[in-house]
Amino acid sequence: MTRLPPPHPGLTDGPVHLDYNATTPVDPRVVQAMLPHLTGHFGNPSSTHAYGGEPRRALTAARAQVAELIGAGPGEIVFTASGSEADLLALRGATLAAARTRPHVITQATEHPAVLATCQALERLHGARITVLPVDREGLVDPAVLTAALDDDTVLVSVMAANNETGALQPVRELADAAHRAGALFHCDAAQAAGKIPLDVRESGVDLLTVVGHKMYAPKGIAALFVREGVRLEPVVYGGGQERGLRAGTENVALAVALGAAARLAADDLAGGALRRIGELRDELHHRLVDALPGRVRLNGPADRRLPNTLNIGIDGVPGHRLLDGAPRIAASTGSACHSGTRTPSPVLTAMGIDPARALEAVRLSLGRWTTRDEILEAATAIAASATATGTPNSFSARAR
């Protein structure tokens, strides 16, 4: 039987939190691990005197814990302040270190904005040539399409492990192999995947991989980049020799310790079957909604090849924001963005070929460590009631099916 985690004080009597892909509550065990480094152990880990010893040892241990979660060596872990910074270090670092006149970088259409915006900046500021690959109806990149896009100037391919909206799992090993055959490096943003599915940088063949703390029960403001030994990167912050010279500045020991503790707990979850429990709850939520709203619930993304905690659905005739407005006890997210009162559909879903009108109906429900069956029952009831009260089947969706 899967052992449940200790209760989380921040979730007591609040709305049902089904937005774990946006951010996770900080695990109280992670807080306990980092507290000594916010109070007593104040020293600089680079100092050679007594006050630097404990921070230095803690930083080394945290690096080893993060490395163990993804099958890396401790010396291959570089701490950063966010996943966006880790992505920047990977993309900008690899592109500039390649020293090509017009380096070629390849990514894909449903990638996180941290990667897509960095690619645009590389094109604008450094003359890089950028290729954005299409995805299929499930949001997946075809390795054959990547192979066709590679050329002699390609220095880097960046494709995420799991999509934050649909949970779609990319064929990372096949994509990395294709990149390597062309002599290019392969970067993988694993912000959503780390701690939710097994990751092994040796087996997957990636050269660079991003891990983000606040997606796996650590505080915001800490992340890490795996940099395979021998891979050359241009630093993202210049100065001292911290983090292998790639990110100068005195390390945030407390947050690094938090990420290490979170990585250890994530490894325990993977080994103990906690993710199986979450997957079963996700599927129960889906089935209850389908039963309550026959013929109206559509799954966005793969049925099987996705994260065990992620359910992205559209309910026929109900815009996602209105659905959630009608279920205020459910904390979830839509795939749309609101600009000056006008809503635009998710670029991820439209890149998958989903009509914009249907994409506006999308709601992402993402479960996590503290999700209970009682919460799933409450969510299914509230969402079905909101859908019934808010909308009716529309002719477009009926024709689309």
Is there a domain that residue 214 lies in? yes
Low-confidence ranges of the chain (pLDDT < 50): 395-401
C-beta atoms surrounding 145 within 10 Å: 15
Please tell me the distance from the alpha carbon of residue 32 to that of residue 261, in angstroms, as a whole number. Answer: 9
CATH classification of the domain holding 340: 3.90.1150.10
Tell me if 3 is assigned to some domain.
Answer: no
Q: Do 242 and 201 share a structural domain?
A: yes
Tokens for 348? 């991820």
Residue 337 lies in a domain: yes
| 178 in the same domain as 140 | yes
> How do residues 90-137 score in pLDDT, each as one tens digit?
999 999 999 888 999 999 999 999 999 999 999 999 999 999 999 999
Contacts of 171 (CB under 8 A, 6+ apart): 140, 141, 143
80-89 pLDDT, tens digit per residue, is: 999 999 999 9
Sequence length of the chain is: 401
Both 374 and 385 in one domain: the answer is: yes
Identify the CATH number of the domain in which residue 117 sits: 3.40.640.10
**Which neighbouring-strand residues pair with 338?**
343
At 338 the pLDDT is 56
Q: How far is CA 192 from CA 183, 210, 238, 348, in A?
A: 27, 10, 29, 15
Residues 145 and 264 in one domain: yes
Full residue range of the structural domain in which residue 112 is found: 28-270
Q: Are 293 and 388 in contact (CB under 8 A)?
A: yes
Same domain, yes or no, for 189 and 141?
Answer: yes
Q: What is the pLDDT of residue 257?
A: 98
Domain stops at, among 270, 296, 313: 270
**One domain for residues 109 and 187:** yes
- Same domain for 244 and 332, yes or no, is no
Query: Is 221 found in the same domain as 91?
Result: yes
Predicted local distance difference test score (pLDDT) of residue 265: 97
> Are residue 185 and residue 327 in the same domain, yes or no?
no
* Domain assignment of residue 211, yes or no: yes
| H or E element at residue 62 | helix 50-70
Q: Are both 153 and 259 inside the same structural domain?
A: yes
* Any domain includes 19: no
Q: How many helices (H) and strands (E) does the chain have?
A: 15, 15
* pTM of the shown model: 0.94
Full DSSP string of 246-291: TB-S---HHHHHHHHHHHHHHHHHHHHTHHHHHHHHHHHHHHHHHH
Q: What is the pLDDT of residue 13?
A: 77
Element of type H or E holding 133: strand 129-133
| Residue of 188, 148, 152 lying closest to 171 (CA atoms) | 188
Distance of alpha carbon 151 from alpha carbon 131, whole angstroms: 11
Q: Does residue 126 belong to any structural domain of this protein?
A: yes
- The answer on 260 and 308 residing in a single domain is no
Catalytic residues: 338
Number of domains forming the structure of the chain: 2
If asked whether residues 195 and 235 sit together in one domain, one would say: yes
Which tokens belong to 54? 């404990």
